[in-house]
Amino acid sequence: MIVADKKPIEEIIEAVRPYGRLLILGCNECVTVCEAGGKKEVGVLASALRMYFLNQGQEKRIDEVTLERQCDHEYLEEIRDRIDNYDAVLSLACGVGVQFTAEKYLSKPVLPGVNTCFLGVTEKRGLWTERCQACGQCILAYTAGICPVSRCAKRLLNGPCGGSTKGKCEISKDVDCAWQLIVDRLKALGRLEDYEKLFSIKDWSTDRAGGPRKVVREDVQI
């Protein structure tokens, strides 16, 4: 899933200050799972903002809506008949949702309420970690299911570098060396000799280096 983190309240306050009528728009998908932008967070943020502006003596209307998703036309259409009641939308979806809402309602300022971080997993409640950089050319079959592009600080395809110490990355003792994980897993699978396969120079054109990407599936288009 896409993992996001809450923006500091001070930053949100400054962003929404100019607008008298505000819609806080949550998303029921990834940001709900990572507890950054679902219905619960919309409610908590709305209350906090109401209290703040009340204390400041500022009159503000703050409404709450949480859509199933903000990355699909059909769900975004659900607010079409009420969007004109607001001066701005504060979207708690990931950057995708923020942008798609803005594209849909071109005349409305759409502000981000979270920082979108990475594609990751819930290791445990309150701990989400990165697993994928969506490079568009998956090599997990050759790296024992552990991605060096997203998990090595240097994205080395032929690691580990000389900084790997006791299984940890040179940047921090709290970060696993991705190549140590790969080697350990290869060993467990009885395939350590695969480590000697040289990864040739990567085609990054399927990564963001190729510009904005698209997936076209004519077979499912209607």
Partner 1 sequence: MTTKTPSKLEKILASGQLAVTSEVGPPRGSNPKHLEEKANIIRNHVDAVNITDNQTSVTRLCSLAACIRLKLMGLEPVLQMVTRDRNRIALQSDILGAASFDIHNILCLSGDHQSFGDCATGQNVHDLDSMQLIQTVRRMRDEGKFLGGADIDRPPRMFVGAAANPFADPFEIRVMRLAKKVAAGVEFIQTQCIYNLDKFELWVKMARDRGLTEQVHIMAGVTPLKSAGMARYMKNRVPGMDVPDEVVKRIAGVPKEKQPEEGIAICVETIERLKTVPGVHGFHIMAIEWEEKVPEIVERAGLYPRPQV
CB of 137 to partner 1, least distance (A): 14
Report if residue 65 touches partner 1, rule: CB under 8 A. no
CB 12 within 8 A of CB 90: yes
Report if residue 159 touches partner 1, rule: CB under 8 A. yes
Q: For residue 34, what are the contacts with CB-CB under 8 A and spacing of at least 6? A: 1, 3, 4, 5, 122, 128
Report if residue 170 touches partner 1, rule: CB under 8 A. yes
CB 35 within 8 A of CB 76: no
Nearer to partner 1, 119 or 157 (CB): 157
Nearer to partner 1, 61 or 173 (CB): 173
> Distance (Å, rounded) from C-alpha 12 to C-alpha 52?
11
- Residue in 63, 64, 130, 184 binding partner 1, rule: CB under 8 A: 184
Report if residue 132 touches partner 1, rule: CB under 8 A. no
> Distance (Å, rounded) from C-alpha 206 to C-alpha 139?
13
Side-chain-facing half-sphere of 104: CA atoms under 13 Å: 22
Report if residue 150 touches partner 1, rule: CB under 8 A. no
With vertex at residue 126, the alpha carbon angle to CA 33 and CA 15, rounded to the nearest 5 degrees, is: 70
CB of 15 to partner 1, least distance (A): 23
- Residue in 124, 125, 166, 217 binding partner 1, rule: CB under 8 A: 166
Report if residue 183 touches partner 1, rule: CB under 8 A. yes
Q: Binding segment for partner 1 among 11-19, 30-38, 58-66, 200-208 (CB under 8 A)? A: 200-208
